[in-house]
Structure 1
Amino acid sequence: MAIPIAILDCDLLLHGRGHKTLDRFDLDSVSNDFLLTNFGFPRDFILYLVELLKETLSRRTLRSRAISPEVQVLAALGFYTSGSFQTSMGDIIGISQASMSRCVTNVTKALVEKAPQFITFNRDFTFQEFQRVAGFPGVLGVLDCVQVAIKAPNSEASSYVNKKGFHSVACQLVCNARGLLLSAETWPGGLRDTKILQRSALHKQLQDNKEGWLLGDGRYPLKKWLMTPLESPGTDAELRYNLAHMMTREIADRTFRAIQTRFRCLDGIKGNLQYSPERSSSILLACCVLHNASLHSGLDAWTLERTEPLEQPKGPEQKLEDRDGEAEELRKKIVLEHFS
């Protein structure tokens, strides 16, 4: 019986590790529970991803090792959701650790190319979605900046040492009330959150915004388009404002906790991402694309959310002369009209 060479992994032929061929793994032959346990997603979503990325993945393997798009997607999902290139994962689908790495590279690049399609700050929303959470009006999205640990880079290592003392890439995120990411930008972990915001595409996009605002914690400066908590609330209305602000803003924290729980390569439990800052940033962005794609496909943003106490942010380092008087008046108006 002839073996279809087009779906064999060349490493197995050259080095003789194992005897499995890629045609022996059949998505239809295993249960959804098996797929969820090993690859993090149900069959329908995996098939959707294969179709979405098939053309790009087929083109990238045309001149090299002909691993099918299906196996490439499974290999990448196995890494994203386990954080490991262990041979046990390769054994499940019949490829070597080296081929696992190549598959992750190909799929990551393909997903990053899809980022503009899946992560967009569109205005197709209603303020009521956020207002139903805790009564805070006019919210466009909730803002946060998170850190993902990486190995020390070979150059400019100090640029990636964050305030907690470890090397990382930072990701500035904005999400909506359902946990869908509206914006995701990666930066060196050594940059302060305020500096990242100032340099970001998001900042340029919202400068002329006339309706609604983001919610950000006390690390950020108060702007007409960015409402922050009151530093020293003195009235019941101000306390209610801060409580509603905190409860609404928590959506961003919950969303990233859920992303880390689904994509264990980001949570640091298996160790830092062992790649350059550029490749680590691409893996992080690819996971963000997968998060949004899964929501578009009907999966729940917080199905795998883990519960941890929120880290209380420090107050802003904003000088008196840098305060935005118009933004302060707007915040007072919100307190008066909605929380008094």
Structure 2
Amino acid sequence: MADLALLEDLQQALLRRDRVFRDRTDLLAESDEWLINRFRLPRAILLALCQQFSQLLERSTKRTSAVPVHTQVLSTIGFLATGTFQREIGDRSGISQPTVSRIMPHVLHAIISLTSQYITFPNTAAERTKIMTDFYNIAGFPSVIGAVDCTHVALKAPTADEFAFVNRKGYHSINVQVICDAHLILLNVVANRPGGTHDSFIVQNSIVGLRLQQSAAGEGWLIGDRGYALKSWLMTPVVNPVSQKELNYNRAHERTRSTVERAIGLLKARWLCLSGRGGILQYKPDKNRISQDSCLETHRTC
């Protein structure tokens, strides 16, 4: 009987595995050049984010090796900056892939909570006048309060409503609307529409579009490409221009509207998870999209 008990103890000992804690790297100890290359942000901004998120990300735990706030923040930002696999991010930070997967949603929600502070559509007459003046200085196009365009963020084919996410180029995506000012600063972002949704439908059913429709262009107008329908609050190019005035209009329109194309280009160049160069996002649409509860259309009227 004693022999059987001994064999059982040996069996249980083989099944038990000691927890192994990796040596976590202090990424903030690296140079600014190294940090910008891998996280797209300088040390000062990374430190400010860590400090701002400390209360949201610090949790009471009975374990002796809780993941520090700066490791959580840099791991998540590293994923956004590269679009690589979570395992590679974990190896760099000294944490496991399941840990990266567990902390990312918390950091992302913390980042989303800041959007209303930095992405705001103009609400006052003074703000609109400043934006109009800046746009006018580009090519003489008057009364523009924002340049609008959409871009596709590729993702893995979902199991539910799969066809709705197939865009006109034939791959699965989320169709993200961006509105920016003359300095490429984001004024509004809509990121909850499947790739098969038309650009014109998105803007007409967005909070900004509904607001401008109600104001009857009293606040100025948006400027968009031929993918949008001409509205009293949304100016598009003249199709098949003939007269010199039409040619001049299209030339000024193109130069002014190019701001949003550059803004989208810079956005995807900084955060490679959006560009597909690091591979398409391996998540379901509800994880790729910002929820309505997170103030998707980020401006002060949310």
Give me the TM-score of the superposition, normalised by structure 1. Answer: 0.73
How do 1:111-190 residues align onto structure 2 when only pairs under 5 Å count?
111-123=111-123, 124-125=127-128, 126=130, 127-186=132-191, 187-190=193-196
Q: Distance in 1 between matches of 2:144 and 2:102?
A: 42
Counterpart of 1:235?
A: 243
Identity value in percent: 37
1:280 paired with 2:262, answer: no
1:257-286: CA deviation from partner (whole Å, max 9, x where unpaired): 111111111111222111111211239xx9
Please state whether the residue corresponding to 2:258 is helix, strand or coil.
helix
CA distance in 1, matches of 2:54, 2:161: 37
Q: Does 1:16 align with 2:20?
A: yes
Deviation at 1:14, TM superposition (A): 5.8
Pick the structure with greater CA Rg.
2
The amino acid across from 2:205 in the alignment is: R
Amino acid at match of 1:20: D
For residues 285-312 of structure 1, the C-alpha deviation after alignment (integer angstroms, 9 at most, x for no partner) is x9x99xx9xxxxxxxxxxxxxxxxxxxx
Does structure 1 retain, via aligned residues, the 8 Å contact 2:86–2:101? no
- Alpha-carbon offset, residue 102 of structure 1: 2.1
Note the C-alpha offset of 1:88.
Answer: 4.2
Secondary structure, in 3 states, of the residue corresponding to 2:149? strand
Structure 1 residues 106, 64: CA separation in 2 closer, same or farther (over 3 Å shift)? farther
Asked if 1:258 is matched to 2:266, the reply is yes
Task: State how far apart, in whole Å, the 1-side matches of 2:280 and 2:87 are.
Answer: 19
> Does structure 2 retain, via aligned residues, the 8 Å contact 1:147–1:189?
yes
Gaps of 5+ in 2: 1-16
One of 202, 206, 220 as aligned partner of 1:200? 206
* Change beyond 3 A, Cα 1:274–1:64: farther
Tell me by how many angstroms 1:197 deviates. 2.0
**Contact 2:153/2:174, CA 8 A, preserved across alignment:** yes
Does structure 2 retain, via aligned residues, the 8 Å contact 1:149–1:273? Answer: yes
- The alpha carbon displacement at 1:223 in A equals 1.2
User: Which residue does 2:39 correspond to in 1?
Assistant: 39
Shift of 1:199: 1.9
CA distance in 1, matches of 2:240, 2:277: 37
Partner amino acid, structure 2, of 1:105:
P
Q: CA deviation at 1:15?
A: 4.7
> Normalising by the residue count of structure 2, what TM-score does the alignment of the two structures yield?
0.82
C-alpha displacement of 1:49: 1.3
Tell me the C-alpha RMSD between the 2 structures: 2.4
Aligned pairs, how many? 269
Please say if 1:271 is aligned against 2:279: yes
Q: What secondary structure, in the 3-state scheme, does the structure 2 residue paired with 1:185 have?
A: strand
Indicate whether 1:53 and 2:48 are aligned.
no
The letter of the residue matching 1:171 is: V
Determine the C-alpha separation between the residues in 2 that align with 1:56 and 1:161. 36
Q: Which amino acid aligns with 1:140?
A: I
- Tell me if structure 1 keeps the 8 A contact 2:175–2:194: yes
- What residue in structure 2 maps to residue 222 of structure 1? 230
Cα distance change of structure 1 residues 31 and 197 upon mapping to structure 2, 3 Å threshold: same
Q: 1:64 offset after TM fit, Å?
A: 8.6
Residues 242/90 of structure 1: CA separation in 2 closer, same or farther (3 Å cut): same
Contact 1:215/1:245 (8 A) holds in 2: yes
Distance 1:71 1:136 in 2: 47
| 1:6-42 Cα deviation digits (max 9, x unpaired) | xxxxxxx96537x303xx5162x32101111221111
Unaligned 5+ residue runs, structure 1?
1-12, 293-340
Aligned mates of 1:193, 1:246 — CA distance in 2: 18
